[in-house]
Structure 1
Amino acid sequence: MEKTYDPHQIEQRWYQHWEDRDFFAPSGEGQPYSIVIPPPNVTGTLHMGHAFQDTIMDVLSRYHRMRGDRTLWQPGTDHAGIATQMVVERQLAAAGQSRHDLGREAFLERVWEWKDESGGTITRQLRRMGASVDWSRERFTMDEGLSEAVREVFVRLYEDGLIYRGKRLVNWDPVLHTAVSDLEVVSEEEQGHMWHMRYPLASGEGHLVVATTRPETMLGDSAVAVHPEDERYAALIGQHVRLPLVDREIPIIADDYVDPAFGSGCVKITPAHDFNDYQVGQRHALPQINIFTIDAKINEAAPEAYRGLDRYEARQRIVADLEAQGLLESIQPHKLMVPRGDRSGAVIEPYLTDQWFVDLTRERQEDGRPGGLKAITEPSIEAVRSGRIKFIPGNWDRTYYNWLENIQDWCISRQIWWGHRIPAWYDEQGRVYVGRTEEEVRRKHQLGDAPLTQDEDVLDTWFSSALWPFSTLGWPEDAETLRTFYPTSVLVTGFDIIFFWVARMVMMGLYFMDDVPFREVYVHGLVRDHDGQKMSKSKGNVLDPLDLIDGITLEALEEKRIQGLMQPKMAEKIRRRTRKEFPEGISSIGTDALRFTFASLATTGRDVIWDMGRAEGFRNFCNKLWNAARYVLMNVEGEDCGLNEAPVELSVADRWIVSRLQRVEAEVREAIDGYRLDLAAQAIHRFTWDEYCDWYLELAKPVLTESDNPALLRGTRRTLVRVLEAILRLTHPFMPFITEEIWQRVGPLAGAQGETLMLQPYPAPEHNKLDEDAEQEVAWIQAFILGLRRIRGEMNIAPGKPLAVLLQNGGERDRALLEANRGYLKRLARLESITWLEPGEGAPESAIALVGEMKLLLPMAGLIDKDAELGRLDKERGKLRQDIERIGKKLANPSFVDKAPTAVVDKERKKLAEQESALAKLDEQYARIEAL
Structure 2
Amino acid sequence: MLDKTYRPAEVEPRHYELWEQAGAFAADTVSNRQPYTIMMPPPNVTGSLHMGHALTFTLQDVLIRYRRMTGRDALWQPGTDHAGIATQMVVERQLEARKVTRHDLGREDFIKRVWEWKAESGGTITRQLRRLGASPDWAKERFTMDEGLSAAVRKVFVTLHRQGLIYRAQRLVNWDPKLHTAISDLEVEQREVKGHMWHLKYPVDGMPGVFITVATTRPETMLGDSAVAVHPEDERFAALVGKMVRLPICDRLIPIVADEYSDPAKGTGAVKITPAHDFNDFQVGSRHGLPLINIFDRDARANDAVPEGYRGLDRYDARKKVVAEFEALGLLEKIEPHTHMVPYGDRSGVVIEPWLTDQWFVDAATLAKPAIEAVETGKTRFVPRHWENTYYEWMRNIQPWCISRQIWWGHQVPAWYGPDGKFFVEETEAEAAAAARAHYGRDVDLTRDSDVLDTWFSSALWPFSTLGWPEQTPELARYYPGDVLVTGFDIIFFWVARMMMMGIHFMGDVPFKDIYIHALVRDEKGQKMSKSKGNIIDPLELIDKYGCDALRFTLAALAAQGRDVKLAESRVEGYRNFATKLWNAARFCQMNECRPVAGFDPGSVKETVNRWIVAKTAETADKVGAAIGNYRYDAAALGAYHFVWGGFCDWYLEFAKPIFNGTDEAAKAETRATAAWVLDQILHILHPLMPFITEELWGQLGRRDGMLMLRPWPQLDGLAAAAAENEMDWVVRVISAVRAVRSEMNVPPAAQVDLLVAGLSEVKRGWAVTHADLIRRLARLAGFEPQAGAERLAQASSHGAAQMVVDEATLVMPLGDVIDVDKERSRLAKEIARLEGEIAKVDKKLGNADFLARAPEEVVAEQRERRADWSDSMAKLKEALERLSGA
* TM-score normalised to structure 1 length: 0.90
Tell me if the contact between 1:531 and 1:901 (Cα under 8 Å) persists in the aligned partners.
Answer: no
SS in 2 for 1:416: coil
More divergent stretch after superposition (869-878 vs 658-667):
869-878
Shift of 1:271: 1.3
Whole-Å separation in 2 of the counterparts to 1:541 and 1:646 = 49
Shift of 1:300: 0.9
The reply on whether 1:467 has 2:461 as its aligned counterpart is yes
Whole-Å separation in 2 of the counterparts to 1:272 and 1:642 = 78
More divergent stretch after superposition (202-211 vs 393-402):
202-211
Report what 1:789 is aligned to: 739
Deviations 1:104-145 (A, max 9, x none): 111111111111111111111101100001110111111111
Whole-Å separation in 2 of the counterparts to 1:645 and 1:177 = 71
The reply on whether 1:10 has 2:4 as its aligned counterpart is no
Report what 2:709 is aligned to: 758
Letter in structure 2 aligned against 1:548 = L
Tell me if the contact between 1:12 and 1:128 (Cα under 8 Å) persists in the aligned partners.
Answer: yes
Report what 1:619 is aligned to: 576
Deviations 1:454-481 (A, max 9, x none): 0010000000000000001111111111
Shift of 1:790: 3.7
Tell me if the contact between 1:11 and 1:737 (Cα under 8 Å) persists in the aligned partners.
Answer: yes
The reply on whether 1:504 has 2:498 as its aligned counterpart is yes
Report what 1:411 is aligned to: 402
Q: Structure 1: give runs of 5+ residues left out of the alignment.
A: 362-372, 551-587
- What is the 5 A alignment of 1:485-884? 485-550=479-544, 588-636=545-593, 641=597, 643=599, 650-706=606-662, 708-746=663-701, 748=703, 753-766=704-717, 768-835=718-785, 842-843=792-793, 844-846=795-797, 847=801, 848-860=803-815, 863-866=817-820, 870-871=822-823, 874-875=826-827, 877-878=829-830, 881-882=833-834
Deviations 1:796-831 (A, max 9, x none): 444344445444443432332233223323332344
Whole-Å separation in 2 of the counterparts to 1:686 and 1:590 = 20
Report what 2:355 is aligned to: 351
Change (3 A) 1:491 1:89: same
Letter in structure 2 aligned against 1:25 = A
Letter in structure 2 aligned against 1:812 = E
Whole-Å separation in 2 of the counterparts to 1:121 and 1:907 = 37
SS in 1 for 2:192: strand
Whole-Å separation in 1 of the counterparts to 2:550 and 2:356 = 52
Change (3 A) 1:40 1:260: same
Change (3 A) 1:854 1:393: closer
- What is the 5 A alignment of 1:447-462? 449-462=443-456
Tell me if the contact between 2:232 and 2:259 (Cα under 8 Å) persists in the aligned partners.
Answer: yes
Whole-Å separation in 2 of the counterparts to 1:33 and 1:762 = 15
Tell me if the contact between 2:245 and 2:256 (Cα under 8 Å) persists in the aligned partners.
Answer: yes
Change (3 A) 1:434 1:887: same
SS in 1 for 2:190: strand
Whole-Å separation in 2 of the counterparts to 1:130 and 1:646 = 32
SS in 1 for 2:701: helix
Change (3 A) 1:505 1:928: closer
Change (3 A) 1:927 1:179: closer
Letter in structure 1 aligned against 2:83 = A
The reply on whether 1:341 has 2:345 as its aligned counterpart is yes
The reply on whether 1:133 has 2:136 as its aligned counterpart is yes
- Residue from 34, 39, 50 that aligns with 1:36: 39
SS in 2 for 1:170: strand
Report what 1:573 is aligned to: none
Letter in structure 1 aligned against 2:114 = V
Whole-Å separation in 2 of the counterparts to 1:482 and 1:747 = 41
- Residue from 189, 192, 198 that aligns with 1:189: 192
More divergent stretch after superposition (164-173 vs 738-747):
738-747
Letter in structure 2 aligned against 1:12 = P
Whole-Å separation in 2 of the counterparts to 1:130 and 1:457 = 39
Whole-Å separation in 2 of the counterparts to 1:386 and 1:321 = 59
Shift of 1:430: 1.1
The reply on whether 1:269 has 2:226 as its aligned counterpart is no
Whole-Å separation in 2 of the counterparts to 1:853 and 1:606 = 39
Letter in structure 1 aligned against 2:587 = R
- Residue from 242, 249, 256 that aligns with 1:245: 249
**Equivalent residues, number:** 872
Tell me if the contact between 1:884 and 1:912 (Cα under 8 Å) persists in the aligned partners.
Answer: no
Deviations 1:207-249 (A, max 9, x none): 2212211111111111222333444433433332211111122
SS in 2 for 1:659: helix
Change (3 A) 1:266 1:644: closer
Whole-Å separation in 1 of the counterparts to 2:527 and 2:334 = 38
Whole-Å separation in 2 of the counterparts to 1:841 and 1:68 = 63
The reply on whether 1:320 has 2:315 as its aligned counterpart is no
Change (3 A) 1:801 1:304: same
Deviations 1:538-570 (A, max 9, x none): 2221111111111xxxxxxxxxxxxxxxxxxxx
Report what 1:56 is aligned to: 59
Whole-Å separation in 2 of the counterparts to 1:308 and 1:721 = 81
Shift of 1:786: 2.7
More divergent stretch after superposition (821-830 vs 350-359):
821-830
The reply on whether 1:180 has 2:183 as its aligned counterpart is yes
Tell me if the contact between 1:49 and 1:526 (Cα under 8 Å) persists in the aligned partners.
Answer: yes
SS in 2 for 1:446: helix
Whole-Å separation in 2 of the counterparts to 1:608 and 1:645 = 41
Whole-Å separation in 1 of the counterparts to 2:883 and 2:36 = 60
Tell me if the contact between 2:45 and 2:80 (Cα under 8 Å) persists in the aligned partners.
Answer: yes
Change (3 A) 1:803 1:268: closer
Deviations 1:410-439 (A, max 9, x none): 110000001000011111111101111111
Letter in structure 2 aligned against 1:864 = V
Tell me if the contact between 2:760 and 2:787 (Cα under 8 Å) persists in the aligned partners.
Answer: no
Whole-Å separation in 2 of the counterparts to 1:438 and 1:47 = 41
Shift of 1:267: 2.0
Tell me if the contact between 2:55 and 2:555 (Cα under 8 Å) persists in the aligned partners.
Answer: yes
Tell me if the contact between 1:391 and 1:522 (Cα under 8 Å) persists in the aligned partners.
Answer: yes
Letter in structure 2 aligned against 1:84 = T
- Residue from 89, 94, 108 that aligns with 1:91: 94
Tell me if the contact between 1:32 and 1:71 (Cα under 8 Å) persists in the aligned partners.
Answer: yes
Tell me if the contact between 1:642 and 1:715 (Cα under 8 Å) persists in the aligned partners.
Answer: no
Shift of 1:877: 4.9
More divergent stretch after superposition (247-256 vs 97-106):
247-256
Tell me if the contact between 1:649 and 1:712 (Cα under 8 Å) persists in the aligned partners.
Answer: no
Shift of 1:266: 2.4
Q: Structure 2: give runs of 5+ residues left out of the alignment.
A: none
- Residue from 151, 161, 164 that aligns with 1:161: 164
Shift of 1:643: 4.5
SS in 1 for 2:661: helix
Letter in structure 2 aligned against 1:382 = E
Whole-Å separation in 1 of the counterparts to 2:810 and 2:164 = 84
SS in 2 for 1:818: helix
Shift of 1:876: 6.2
Report what 1:217 is aligned to: 221
Whole-Å separation in 1 of the counterparts to 2:286 and 2:813 = 88
Tell me if the contact between 1:339 and 1:347 (Cα under 8 Å) persists in the aligned partners.
Answer: yes
Report what 1:570 is aligned to: none
The reply on whether 1:907 has 2:856 as its aligned counterpart is no
* TM-score normalised to structure 2 length: 0.94
More divergent stretch after superposition (238-247 vs 14-23):
238-247
Change (3 A) 1:744 1:907: same
